[in-house]
Amino acid sequence: MADPSPPPPPAGAPPAAASSSPLMANLNRLSHATSRPDLPPHESFTSRTIRAVGSALSPEQASEELDSLILRNTAHRRPSVAVDSSILYPTLEQHGQAANGPLLVLNLAAISHVPLAISNDELLEVLLRRLEPWVGEDGEGAYSLIVLAAEGDGDRPLPGVAWWLWHWRRIPRKFRKNLKRLYIVHPSTLTRTVLPLIVPLVSPKSYGKVITVPSLLALTHLNIPLRGMDLTVPTLVEEARVLAEDPNAAQRSSVTDAVGRRASTSLAAPPEAGASGWGAFSMLSAALGTATSWLHPNVSAALADRPPPPYWSRDIDAIVSENNGHVPRVLGAIGTAILAHCASTEGIFRRSSNSPLAPVLQSLLDLDLDLQPRLDWAALAQHDPLLPPLMLKRVVSKLRPPVFMHHLYPTIRASHTVADLETKLIPALSQARAQLLDVVLHIAYHLLPHERATRMGARQLALMFAPSLISGPDPREDLALLMERGVAVPAGLTPARKSSDSDRTGRSSTSASASPQAAALPLPDTEAQTLVGVLEMWITNLPALHEKEGCDCAMIGKASPVTPLAGHGPHALLNAQSAGARAPPVATAS
């Protein structure tokens, strides 16, 4: 562009002294220029991409291409960012119903352990790259996301609601389009109050996909399996807090609100933008109904029939049969955690845990095996060393009928030596009961080297396990078996003996037992053994029952023993299973 000529000097003005200077002439021309210098404009990555693809593609195709270019550009921006895989992972389960597709879990508690040097934007990019293989192409894929919103115990705070809402519209389109359900478990008060009011304004299409769920147990009532989910300690602590404040939270979610929407209807057909009934009034009423549903504990009683619990109040024979001849894996997992993290705890199995996690763990173990999540018993043992021993005793004590049924009481009283255990008591047990005792007493045996720290020897451990293994029709008879050998039964609690057991004077033992002097007499060692004495002998001589000098079972990280025990009992069964064969059945007393 040609430079304009400078204006003439005013009349009567003296001639400029510096008019002959080239510098002043150039400055004079620039000061009177009618346009800016022709500099190259600054364009961002997004602007350059839109300008490159906008001329050849339609706006929708250009947006899809932009999303792909953004992901490829950010994939190489920070290659050194490493994020724990427990933050976002697939459960390898399908959602089912109308929202087919894989289920993925976003654990916000694990974000608290991400280094502070990684920004929230970089963390979001990493999670999107990890999520991309499960999303599919735009409009063709389908997936559901479960957000565990409990806060972790790390140093990194969670992003606020404003950050999530701001970045929601900036997530590539296929991530938002293919998302069929977004379950928010353990939402905070702010989240469940603000979310129903803001989400319809930010993204009306997304409002029908967002479902706030107060607890994990409420998630199972929506036919969402917990199988494949790794529940951390912060998540379980939040679950315990929610259920303690409102026990009805185990069955309530935002999909059954005051407007009267049924859970099945909401899950089968989410409202779309522009559909009939999805006007301003519908959005407002649904939002208010979702918010007020947390204030009313009324829950519909029409719940689907559930199968019987896998552990509680069931026969161990049936449980082992359903597990292909094996004891439940949860017993081995608890035992391994006890030996690894609780072996130095004073009063183990004697002191009771007051942890609020015990009811939550029992409720999760009460679920069907196809719905149960994965529990990190090692982390739970580090959180509370008394919690795994409590759960082990609770699982064993809730079996019905008990491990030692009433018809085995005479055999217990007649078992005085290790040979009696091998030839009388163990063959009288069923395979399932022998396996269960083998697991429990292995744990007790491996705690013996830590007696100085735990102050629990074989006799003390036997005293703690014995009440969980019997539950006969006469509590007084059970009490006599729960005493140490040679210790007197309290007066008035001695069980009545049979009439054939008369004393030397000819009086029946019933009248003799009614006498305080007779009740205070200790049971002679040569007459009757107790269950405590049997368990103490079993724990102390466990290697001898295996015909080994020591025990190197899998609970301490080594291979299981392979030496059979006279072809009977738990060891023969375990050895046959480890060898790939099926053990011969042991007769089960009716």
First-last CA distance in the chain? 108
Tokens encoding 257: 């609100």
**Residue 401, preceding bond cis, omega within 30 degrees?**
yes
- Domain boundary among the residues 73, 89, 114 is at 73
What per-residue confidence (pLDDT) applies to 492?
66
Kindly tell me if the per-residue pLDDT of 183 is higher than 90: yes
Q: If you average pLDDT over residues 401-405, what whole number do you get?
A: 94
In a domain, 466, yes or no: yes
In a domain, 509, yes or no: no
Cα distances (Å, whole numbers) of residue 219 to 251, 259, 267, 316: 8, 21, 12, 29
Please tell me the total number of residues recorded for the chain in this structure.
Answer: 590
In three-state secondary structure terms, 156 is coil
Tell me: do 56 and 86 sit in the same domain.
no
Tell me: do 188 and 334 sit in the same domain.
no
Domain containing residue 282: CATH number:
3.40.525.10
Q: If you average pLDDT over residues 256-269, what whole number do you get?
A: 36
pLDDT digits (tens, 9 = 90+) for 271-326: 444 444 444 444 554 555 544 444 444 333 334 455 677 888 889 999 999 888 89
More confident residue, 262 or 118: 118
What per-residue confidence (pLDDT) applies to 307?
63
Kindly tell me if the per-residue pLDDT of 588 is higher than 50: no
CB count, 10 Å around CB of 244? 12
Kindly tell me if the per-residue pLDDT of 349 is higher than 70: yes
More confident residue, 431 or 517: 431
Kindly tell me if the per-residue pLDDT of 559 is higher than 80: no
- Domain boundary among the residues 292, 327, 342 is at 292
Kindly tell me if the per-residue pLDDT of 505 is higher than 50: no
Tell me: do 369 and 391 sit in the same domain.
yes
Q: If you average pLDDT over residues 141-160, what whole number do you get?
A: 89
pLDDT digits (tens, 9 = 90+) for 361-388: 999 998 888 788 999 999 999 999 999 9
Tell me: do 390 and 245 sit in the same domain.
no
Residues 97, 81: contact at Cβ < 8 Å? no
CA distance 403 to 434: 9
What per-residue confidence (pLDDT) applies to 394?
93
E strand intervals along 135-293: 143-148, 179-185, 210-213, 230-231
More confident residue, 346 or 188: 346
Kindly tell me if the per-residue pLDDT of 502 is higher than 60: no
Kindly tell me if the per-residue pLDDT of 573 is higher than 90: no
Q: What average pLDDT does the structure give for the chain?
A: 73
Domain containing residue 421: CATH number:
1.10.555.10
Q: If you average pLDDT over residues 210-233, what whole number do you get?
A: 90
59-68, 181-190, 261-270: which is most confident? 181-190
Tell me: do 103 and 158 sit in the same domain.
yes
More confident residue, 495 or 220: 220
* Number of domains comprising the chain: 3
Q: If you average pLDDT over residues 536-555, what whole number do you get?
A: 79
What per-residue confidence (pLDDT) applies to 459?
95
pLDDT digits (tens, 9 = 90+) for 77-121: 444 456 778 899 998 777 665 567 889 999 999 999 999 899 999
Residues 518, 494: contact at Cβ < 8 Å? yes
Kindly tell me if the per-residue pLDDT of 6 is higher than 60: no
More confident residue, 264 or 66: 66
Tell me: do 275 and 128 sit in the same domain.
yes
* Dihedral of alpha carbons 565, 567, 569, 571, sign: positive
Kindly tell me if the per-residue pLDDT of 234 is higher than 70: yes
Tell me: do 69 and 103 sit in the same domain.
no
CA distance 494 to 517: 11
Exposure b/e, 351-386, CB count within 10 A at least 16 = b: eeeebebbebbbbbbbbebebbbebbbebbbebbbb
* Dihedral of alpha carbons 429, 433, 435, 437, sign: negative
- Domain boundary among the residues 73, 90, 122 is at 73
pLDDT band at 62 (very low <50, low <70, confident <90, very high): low
Tell me: do 94 and 241 sit in the same domain.
yes
7-11, 283-287, 409-413: which is most confident? 409-413
Select from 530, 528, 500, 503 the least CA-distant residue to 514: 503
pLDDT digits (tens, 9 = 90+) for 441-485: 999 999 999 999 999 999 999 999 999 999 999 998 999 899 888
More confident residue, 343 or 261: 343
| Full domain range(s) for residue 477 | 316-491+522-578
% of the chain residues with pLDDT over 70: 61
In a domain, 388, yes or no: yes
Tell me: do 329 and 220 sit in the same domain.
no
Tell me: do 89 and 120 sit in the same domain.
yes
Q: If you average pLDDT over residues 499-503, what whole number do you get?
A: 42
| Ramachandran angles phi, psi of 231, nearest 5° | -90, 120
Residues 210, 182: contact at Cβ < 8 Å? yes
What per-residue confidence (pLDDT) applies to 563?
28
Kindly tell me if the per-residue pLDDT of 503 is higher than 70: no
In three-state secondary structure terms, 89 is strand
Tokens encoding 196: 């129903």
Kindly tell me if the per-residue pLDDT of 23 is higher than 80: no
In a domain, 34, yes or no: no
CA distance 21 to 18: 5
What per-residue confidence (pLDDT) applies to 522?
42
What per-residue confidence (pLDDT) applies to 554?
61
Tell me: do 91 and 54 sit in the same domain.
no
Tell me: do 477 and 539 sit in the same domain.
yes
In a domain, 512, yes or no: no
What per-residue confidence (pLDDT) applies to 4?
53
